[in-house]
Chains A and B, each alone.
Chain A
């Protein structure tokens, strides 16, 4: 596996580090850099750019900026033979950070890791970040993980965002657990991952969230399809974590099984509805069971159809039928 660095990353990282050292009182690197690069300004543009690129690459290594990645990569010997190249590049925002796997026919996969350059200020934390991303890459390349490119997995954009965010946190827990068991530093501490669980499952009781953290942390065998399934279905996640899902089938923000809208207001006792109402629901949704729950609006619609219907005597007999849309 070849390690490559994007020229823009090298330029920004080297300039930043030299400036940092100069500001701290060490001007030697700045002088050296200028000694090497000032002559480039007399060159033609093509040569000049090449000169800077090479100089930045040398200084990047000499300044010790490559150590974090190299140390992290050393912990994943299986990646070497499996990956064609690993490209490191910079990005502007936290949401853009991460590893991408690029698979092309007839070639070994290429990996690209994006990170914000300021992370270089803390090499140890950066090493943990790289390690976390490489753990994901290793998962993706491990056949048993059953990784496949992720298309659209939810019905609506909001749901897609929600599910993807949950998938991200669940997979992160699996990866972070594996890194911790190897005795090395990862991208974040366990408490920080707990916060992520809380943020993505705010409606679950604290014990349930703790159980999710603990279970996924210790589930190296978790596969990609399983993680998707758990992200899509909070109830299955709870079951996977050993929580009786029947007791809390409907997490806040989960999808109502009838209308598929994410809902925070579940009917508190669907089973207690009058049989006539349940019959109406079942007529439309034969496989639905009150234990599956439903949002209040859906079940209210069946209750209210009766409650707010005109009494028989008040229906004008030649009026157009309600909801008729054919002649």
Chain B
């Protein structure tokens, strides 16, 4: 019998019904089968479906790397139709990518990529795109007039005092490079020699700022490759250019290579405030970060002021997977934010008080013996003795006459880490109290782990001892453990910590127990912590519980920071591989290597330029030099950090003015002293609007030559070039520098300046990339051509050659018993550098901020007699910003809590928290249409409220109760003001048109997740400029889009940076801090950009919030959604029931 499908279904159905009826079930008579028809016969025309399907058709595709400063660098796949990139999506390549040994990355990295990459083509083709080079009209006039001396009249005439109102006009590339070269050389000449120095003195620069001038006019030239790692060739190349200015100096001054000096190289990581500045104090390394897939090993995951959900979009799934893998999650933050929703518990805390919390936890652990004694003795400085008289660590030479250090030249310090004998002599050896012999015992920095065990010493962790020093004194010494437990932490008992932090006592207790009983433990900090003045102390304190429990150097353990793609160290130089990253940025310009086949190991590197922290420019181009009542004139800026005056600036790929704290001080005051500002960028931003000459760059999708990048959060080497032709008259960053260098060489008559970029000009960046791969310990063995051919799984990608996958910081220290990169070779809880003792931070202490505190600004909370800070005679009543920063006063909490900050008392009672946004990376994508609509509650593509600056606008989150107390309705426009003594800029007057531009006005959005005294604005929106404000006030449609430049502001007035200011933390400016060099195996004392340098700290801000305008449509009444009954703080009865879960209960 043949039976078709329909017949079968009929009979089966009937049989089923019969069976069911027979069992006394339901009558299914209604379930009659359909008539026997073919539903596909005679179906109507379906051509319309093609329209739907065709929208995804493409002619070709290519991969490119989305490389903003998000720390992910995801390879995206772009799809092209008719020559137009229609869309980009994630490339799903991670599981294929391998290394030279055959290791493969886990497929769990997939998918990598976020909305940034998805919408990049909207930036590439978008309305704000730079289309060709531009020059400021009156700057060009100044150049055409022969660069006359900038007398006050000329200063005004050429609009150096009002760049923001000048015009930017189109210029051809050839002319642009000529003007560039003429301007650079002219300024270098003007400030060369003694005459140049005298000009700077006459302009009022502090004498200290001439320390590194050395007679070279090139030293007033500053270059910044915006987060250089984002494009090692095109972005870090800026430092290669700066180094080559030694040739310009040699020509101008007629000096040889020995004397010649290049430019000052501005930092990125520290400037962004992204570094955890305290980490080098603890372990000597720039930063401790793992690959993000290491999260999966963690069993107790603590986010301390960190928001991995919003800030790590591409890879935050690794955090979410912690839940699936059974880890306990704790979030410590003032607000109940996105990560808190995933947490086992959220520990609310007063902003800026995290150090006290960590010290409180440490105290409980020590008091209750909840620590790993073996780890403490083998890897930490807790057993080391400290002298009561000098507060220094007891050194062997203090107690042993004619002490000679043992020969450790065969040990790890020398052979692996590059310690020099001179450095070793300076560091000395240390002493513990051996309970076996009941006497002091010398230990070297190599005596850690297994080597320590071999010593057979049983050190005392507690006790007070007396030693006789070589000069005959009897000195009290105590182990650090004892000092912490029995002296220092007395100030941080649970009750006091609760009062300082406002954190619930039961949660402090619970967290202590969790850290003591769960392993591995990882603490993730970030911008939430690092952006405070005393972040150094929080970073140091975050290690204390981990040092006590041995949570270092293991999978899933450690304290990490996760902010900024800083890790030049990925391209690490070593004695066996070559100069590493330095071979690219500092190839000797006097002897440029013209052989395209040379091994990168043999490239001769020589640094003529010098690091500089832009934080000094951001401090009105000044170091921290204070005339103190007690100690006279004192520089708190160490010599290794000292800046020179800024007269020339070239930045690439950074919206530096926009993102500068105290932005309007920079624009309206500081920058007026700079004579030439040059930018390279892909989009019209506020920095471009305030520049003199702008080079228009290609986007990542348009690159015409190869570029390479890597990441601090994953193991992938990424090399790529674009796949679509440049849309406009733009060039690769590298080509721009190459042609600019050639023009400079032509101007001074030295071909070598241009030769340094020969292969870039020929479109052969591969030569430089291969040299880079050859010269680094992490990449030697790779061939660029192999990588591009896909030999390692995905064309353009490979794995860095790490010791472990995932990369685990300090794995070798623990597994192989190598010393940490500190003076003692141990994880340090104590710093005895002279400056640190003077500042009262030898022990890790909680300090109130110099501004963001209700209490006495900058007070040290301690009664520890082993903390002896210097006040420099500055009285408590002194409230100048410099004074507050440098004054060190120690008080116990019982006194601190009764002290007052006059700014707080005057109504500036909101901490201002400025985290990163999930919709942007720094200022990138801030006004990209979709992002601009999404990144706030007021996005409206129709701009029905004509006050709105664009299709979206920036907003400030505020607790509803706090807002209501101020008469502020949800959605109202508010003014947000900080201390009017210096913000938005020093010396503003009420009727100053620039004040109108700089005063912050934005929307207030109720958000009950924030505590009463904290407001939140996301970081780095596009600031209001003179032109955007003028547009907003004069355009018929009210849009804040500048006439002439097309710049779109996120604000009507001011910006998030209206309320911030520059700060110069003394602890960030030491000359004596010993730590590992950033990108080579070796050590340094003192400053190094991005490693030990001033971090910017925008959160150190108190603000006042006042109503400006009604939030309703065009200023009428209340913002409509606020009155809907569904908005926070305005819930209807129904909504209240809903929130309580009572809607369905009748």
Residues of A at the B interface (CB closer than 8 Å) are: 155-158, 161-162, 165, 199, 252-253, 256, 258-265, 284-285, 294, 296-298, 300-301, 304-305, 307-311, 313-327
Contact = CB atoms under 8 A, between A and B. Distances in A.
17 contacts: A155-B1033, A165-B1114, A261-B996, A262-B1109, A265-B1106, A284-B989, A285-B991, A296-B1106, A300-B980, A304-B981, A307-B902, A314-B628, A314-B880, A314-B883, A316-B625, A320-B622, A323-B985
Contact of B1109 (A158, A309, A318, A323): A158
B203 to A, nearest CB: 5
Contacts of B727: none
Contacts, number: 172
Given A300-B980, A310-B882, A313-B629, A256 B985 contact: no
Contact of B1033 (A157, A313, A320, A327): A157
A259 B996 contact: yes
Contacts of A285: 990-991
B946 A157 contact: yes
Contact of B986 (A252, A263, A265, A322): A322
B878 interface: yes
Contacts of A317: 627, 633
Contacts of B1001: 261
Contact of A199 (B882, B1032, B1114, B1116): B1116
Contact of B669 (A156, A284, A300, A323): A323
B161 interface: yes
A34 to B, nearest CB: 33
Nearest to A156: B1033
Contact of A308 (B669, B879, B995, B1038): B879
Contacts of A318: 204-207, 625
B1131 interface: no
Interface string B971-1009: 001010101111001111111000110010100000000
Given A165-B1114, A294-B990, 7 more contacts: A157-B1033, A161-B1115, A301-B981, A304-B981, A308-B880, A310-B880, A320-B673
Nearest to B906: A300
Contacts of A165: 1114-1116
A69 B669 CA distance: 63
A162 B987 CA distance: 30
A264 B206 contact: no
B874 A297 contact: no
Nearest to A314: B883
B138 interface: no
A66 B990 CA distance: 56
A310 B1033 contact: no
B152 interface: yes
Contacts of B875: 311
Given A297-B977, A316-B625, A327-B673, A310 B878 contact: yes
A263 B622 CA distance: 36
Interface string B905-927: 01100000000000000000000
A327 B982 contact: no
Contacts of A199: 1116-1117
B557 to A, nearest CB: 45
Interface in B148-182: 150-152, 155-156, 161
Contact of A325 (B206, B669, B975, B1038): B669
Contacts of B996: 259-261
B646 to A, nearest CB: 11
Interface string B538-578: 00000000000000000000000000000000000000000
Contacts of B947: 157-158, 161
Interface in B884-903: 902-903
Contacts of B152: 326-327
Interface in B1001-1026: 1001
Chain B interface residue bracket vs A: 35 or more
Q: 6 smallest A-B Cβ distances: which pairs?
A: A310-B880, A323-B987, A301-B980, A258-B990, A308-B981, A259-B990
A96 to B, nearest CB: 13
A155 B882 CA distance: 38
B620 interface: yes
Interface string B201-243: 0111111000000000000000000000000000000000000
Nearest to A152: B1034
A260 B991 contact: yes
A127 B947 CA distance: 34
Given A284-B989, A314-B626, A323-B987, A264 B1115 contact: no
Contacts of B323: none
Contacts of A319: 204, 206, 622, 625
Contacts of A326: 152, 155-156, 161, 672
A95 to B, nearest CB: 9
B1108 interface: yes
A260 B150 CA distance: 34
A310 B161 CA distance: 26
Contacts of A259: 990-991, 995-996, 999
Contact of B988 (A301, A308, A316): A301
B881 interface: yes
B129 interface: no
Contacts of A311: 874-875, 878, 880, 883
B588 interface: no
Q: Which residue among A264, A285, A316 has the maximum number of chain B CB atoms within 10 Å of its CB?
A: A316
Contacts of A256: 990
B628 A264 contact: no
Q: Which residue among B628, B990, B1001, B1109 has the maximum number of chain A CB atoms within 10 Å of its CB?
A: B990
A158 B982 contact: no
Given A314-B883, A323-B985, A265 B1032 contact: no
A284 B1001 CA distance: 24
Nearest to A253: B1109
B204 A325 contact: no
Given A318-B204, A322-B986, A309 B980 contact: no
A284 B981 contact: no
B161 A325 contact: yes
Interface string B638-668: 0000000000000000000000000000001
Given A324-B204, A327-B152, A315 B986 contact: no
Contact of A304 (B973, B980, B987): B980
B1108 A262 contact: yes
B601 interface: no
Given A165-B1115, A308-B979, A327-B673, A320 B628 contact: no
A294 B990 CA distance: 10
A253 B878 CA distance: 36
A162 B1108 CA distance: 12
Contact of B1038 (A157, A162, A309, A323): A157
Contacts of A300: 906, 980
B1033 A284 contact: no
Q: Which residue among B628, B996, B1115 has the maximum number of chain A CB atoms within 10 Å of its CB?
A: B1115
A263 B205 CA distance: 40
B126 interface: no
A327 B672 CA distance: 9
A301 B1033 CA distance: 25
B1107 interface: yes
B204 A261 contact: no
Nearest to B203: A327
Given A304-B980, A325-B672, A261 B206 contact: no
A314 B203 contact: no
Nearest to A326: B152
B560 to A, nearest CB: 37
B878 A314 contact: yes
A258 B991 contact: yes
Contacts of A157: 946-947, 1032-1033, 1038
B689 interface: no
B463 interface: no
